[in-house]
Structure 1
């Protein structure tokens, strides 16, 4: 787990080694009640801005990036992540996730 601040520090450490040996990276996304560092206006932690920054950087480096919306069993969470440009998920709820992603794109999502 860890806070966004701790995740930023971990990313900085990985940059110092040019992400040596890293081919994929997964970040757990925490919901209210499970995270202590949710910023105002954010639905989860780490922030959508941080997740977007990580996603862009890792894509440029050819590293697979996944988010794991920890404990999320609702379509709304996946829609919020998709709206933020995130589209690779690890999940304990594959049926919910698959339906949420399909519904999102069928409704004209990004």
Structure 2
């Protein structure tokens, strides 16, 4: 599941970059200025949600699930957008009803 696939950000996940910082610099440079706040929000949201799922697995014996993780990321992104994250409002699909 490519989380950025549902967003309108023209970006690819990290692949051959030596560091995450190299990927970030490349991606930020390739992203139109109007979409950068959305990219920054997603770049914070995704690791946060991965961390939360990891904690559920470690401390609550939950089973890891990519499908559940992606669904939670989408739900949280929608909440952030509704709470006022203008950058996410720009990049999220219009059918999410956050606009």
TM-score scaled by structure 2?
0.32
Q: Which has the higher helix share?
A: 2
- Bigger strand share: 1
TM-score (norm. length: structure 1): 0.29
